[in-house]
Structure 1
């Protein structure tokens, strides 16, 4: 299957939001219950860390980073989001997106990437592990979704030459 990894832009949002909605409907991708507007979403997702997998005019998946904190000391720590259209799951799209996001983040001085993944989403856990993420813990009953407390697996990936002593 042909696709290329490209920068996300405003004109992609209609397709991105459909893929995001598919993720929401699984019940195992996010605590979000509805897709935000572009204007709301972009406030927490810098465009230099927002990419899409594109096959001509079709978006197959998207990935983005968001800051974990506004405090300066955490400027190099970001949270990962990766979503792939139902039609293209299992075809290498998520892996290509995550690898490119890692490359972009390291080029921009990010030293730690983290992902919070529902334990039921084993495919996402395996994808992140394939890219060097390690499980650092389980955040038990961290949030309620539809009246049910949910756990989140916290995974992290450190840049190899981060200068951490």
Structure 2
């Protein structure tokens, strides 16, 4: 499949939101229960590091960074969000998006990327490992979803070898 990794635009929001909603419906991609408005999502994510995988006019997946803290000492640390359209999973799009996001993050001074992944989301854990993330811990039974079942979150981290202390 031919696609390009490009900067996310506000005009991509409807497709990005639909992919996010599909992730919510899986019950293992996020603890969110509904898609935020563009305004709320936009305010919660770093402007410099937002990407989509695009084929023609279709968004196949997206990745973005959000700050982990408002404290100035954590300005180089961000949390990864990555979602792939259900029809396009397993085609290398996630790996391409995440690798491009890593490069873009380093170009913008980020030295640590973090992800908190629901333990049942084994595909996302494997993707992060392929892209240089390591497991740094597990938050056991940290949240429960609508079913009332408690879930663990695997904490993953990638330290840059280009930016910060390495």
Alignment TM-score, normalising by the size of structure 1: 0.97
Offset at 1:162? 3.7
* 1:38-58 superposed Cα distances (whole Å, 9 cap, x missing partner): 001011112211110000100
Aligned partners of 1:89 and 1:35: how far apart in 2?
20
Aligned to 2:43: 43
The size of the alignment, in residue pairs, is 165
Aligned-residue Cα RMSD (Å) equals 1.0
Work out the CA distance in 2 between the residues paired with 1:26 and 1:69. Answer: 28
* TM-score normalized by the length of structure 2: 0.96
The 1-side partners of 2:103 and 2:164 are apart by 17
Equivalent position SS for 2:66 = strand
Aligned counterparts, 1:11-160, within 5 A: 11-146=11-146, 147-160=148-161
The gaps in structure 2 that reach 5 residues or longer are none
1:104 offset after TM fit, Å? 0.4
Aligned partner of residue 44 in structure 2, secondary structure: coil
User: After the TM superposition, which segments of 4 or more aligned residues of structure 1 sit over 4 Å from their partners?
Assistant: none
Give the superposition deviation at 1:163: 4.1
- Separation in structure 2 between the aligned mates of residue 42 and residue 119 of structure 1, nearest angstrom: 27
